[in-house]
């Protein structure tokens, strides 16, 4: 499907400079774009590339509105947000017809909306409920009493254990596991461990997206909660009874231990470790590879390091740490000079006149 530059600007709330009638058939990066593509500019270092691009139009931030481009431009306040809307226009993912594939297994007690799509080799156990326009692709497993809302996509290999609930507009990528047992074992006097039954569930609210191979454990009792708008990357571990607040984003390989509560609009980098039973305030920001061992109470706290400390303090500390060899050498030199000074002061005073016998 094609759109004119003017139509795209209308759809995303931008303003056009140049020919608004040029037709656009897709989007591409500034160096890979060809005629018929729209590309984008959000960083000064790529301005020179705009003179060489073969794209037919360019999406730019308002700060470039006075820049002279050789192709039509659409100016917006937020380039990445507008780009997301444009990519949605040209999303070529295959539409799937509603219905249940004959090679899927759906228990007779399950309720599947007529507009939903269930692919081959998917399994729906007793009392599963699937909402309108939801797509379950191949080899999806839903345990007893699982509910999935409307307009969801569960990609191949997703497994949702019994009693878990997924709301509307949720995307679960391949091999996501929802509702596996939390890591709960009671130590015994003889050194062995007895499993603590995990009888809770997982609740995922609206507009959540969870990346491939991420695991969200069921609660020991109650619910592990993924609140509205949360975005989880690939390869994340969310332990039992964790709660992640609205619109929080977490990058890959992060692990959150049991019963910790992450606030709303937090930003957590990759490979972050968060110990159990913490409370992180809203809008907490954690740099990649940090280890968080203490709760935060102030909104907007920034953390860095392992164990994590205040972000600016970490940067100051690291600036000192990387200079420690030079600092040690300087200290040794100062100690030597100080020792020589002290030695000279310890010598008895002898005047020139005394030495001459005057």
* CA 33 – CA 50 distance, rounded (Å): 11
Number of C-alpha atoms within 13 angstroms, CB side, residue 286? 36
Predicted structure pTM score: 0.82
* CA 35 – CA 57 distance, rounded (Å): 9
Tell me the pLDDT of the chain (358 aa) as tens digits: 899 999 999 999 999 999 999 999 999 999 999 999 999 998 888 888 888 999 999 999 999 888 888 999 999 999 999 999 999 998 866 678 999 999 999 999 999 999 999 999 999 999 999 999 999 999 999 999 999 999 999 999 999 999 999 999 999 999 999 999 999 999 999 999 999 999 999 999 999 999 999 999 999 999 999 999 999 999 999 999 999 999 999 999 999 999 999 999 999 999 999 999 999 999 999 999 999 999 999 999 999 998 888 888 888 888 888 888 888 888 998 988 888 888 777 766 555 555 554 4
Per-residue model confidence (pLDDT) at position 94: 66
DSSP string, 218-273: PPSSSEEEE-TT-EE-SS-EE-TT-EE-TT-EE-TT-EE-TT-EE-TT-EE-TT-E
Q: Where are the domains of the chain?
A: 3-89, 99-313, 325-355
Q: Helix, strand, coil proportions of the chain in percent (round to 5)?
A: 20, 30, 55
In the β-sheet with 111-112, what is the strand arrangement from edge to edge? 111-112, 129-130, 147-148, 165-166, 201-204, 223-226, 243-244, 261-262, 279-280
Per-residue model confidence (pLDDT) at position 158: 98
β-strands 243-244, 223-226 pairing = parallel
* CA 213 – CA 173 distance, rounded (Å): 8
Provide the token pair at 192.
């062995």
Contacts by residues 15-18 (CB-CB < 8 Å, ≥ 24 positions apart) = 15/65, 15/74, 15/75, 16/72, 16/73, 16/74, 16/75, 17/65, 17/69, 17/72, 17/73, 17/75, 18/57, 18/69, 18/71, 18/72, 18/73
Question: Which member of 37, 139, 165, 240 is catalytic?
Answer: 240
CATH topology of domain 3-89: 3.40.1390
Superfamily (CATH) of domain 99-313: Hexapeptide repeat proteins (2.160.10.10)
Angle at 35 between CA 31 and CA 37, to 5 degrees: 70
Q: Any catalytic annotation for residue 37?
A: no
* CA 17 – CA 70 distance, rounded (Å): 10
Q: Which residue has the tokens 């709960």?
A: 184
* CA 141 – CA 31 distance, rounded (Å): 42
Per-residue model confidence (pLDDT) at position 358: 42
Angle at 308 between CA 303 and CA 310, to 5 degrees: 45
């Amino acid at each position: 499907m094609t759109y004119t530059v003017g139509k795209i600007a209308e759809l995303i709330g931008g303003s056009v400079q140049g020919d608004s009638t040029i037709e656009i058939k897709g989007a591409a990066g500034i160096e890979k774009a060809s005629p018929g593509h729209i590309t984008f500019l959000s960083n000064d270092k790529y301005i020179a590339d705009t003179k060489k691009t073969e794209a037919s139009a360019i999406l730019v931030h308002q700060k470039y509105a006075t820049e002279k481009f050789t192709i039509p431009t659409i100016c917006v306040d937020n380039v990445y947000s507008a780009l997301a809307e444009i990519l949605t226009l040209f999303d070529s993912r295959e539409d799937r017809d509603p219905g249940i594939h004959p090679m899927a297994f759906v228990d007779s007690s399950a309720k599947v909306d007529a507009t939903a799509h269930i692919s081959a080799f998917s399994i729906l156990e007793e009392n599963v409920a699937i909402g309108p326009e939801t797509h379950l692709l191949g080899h999806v497993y839903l345990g007893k009493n699982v509910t999935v809302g409307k307009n969801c996509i569960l990609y191949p290999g997703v497994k949702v254990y019994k009693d878990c609930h997924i709301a509307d507009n949720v995307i679960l990528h391949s091999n996501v596991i929802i509702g596996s047992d939390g890591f709960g074992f009671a130590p015994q006097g003889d050194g062995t461990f007895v499993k603590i039954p995990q009888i809770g569930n997982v609740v995922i609210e609206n507009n959540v997206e969870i990346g491939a191979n991420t695991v969200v454990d069921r609660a020991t009792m109650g619910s592990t909660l993924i609140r509205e708008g949360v975005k989880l990357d690939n390869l994340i571990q969310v332990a039992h009874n964790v709660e992640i607040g609205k619109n929080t984003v977490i990058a890959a390989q992060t692990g959150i231990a049991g019963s910790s509560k992450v606030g709303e609009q937090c930003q957590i980098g990759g490979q972050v470790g968060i110990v159990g039973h913490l409370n992180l305030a809203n809008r907490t920001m954690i740099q990649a590879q940090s280890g968080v061992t203490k709760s935060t109470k102030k909104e907007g706290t920034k953390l860095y390091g392992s164990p994590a400390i205040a972000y600016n303090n970490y940067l100051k500390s690291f600036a000192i740490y990387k200079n420690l060899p030079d600092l040690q050498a300087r200290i040794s030199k100062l100690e030597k000079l100080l020792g020589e000074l002290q030695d000279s002061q310890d010598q008895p005073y002898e005047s020139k006149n005394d030495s001459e016998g005057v």
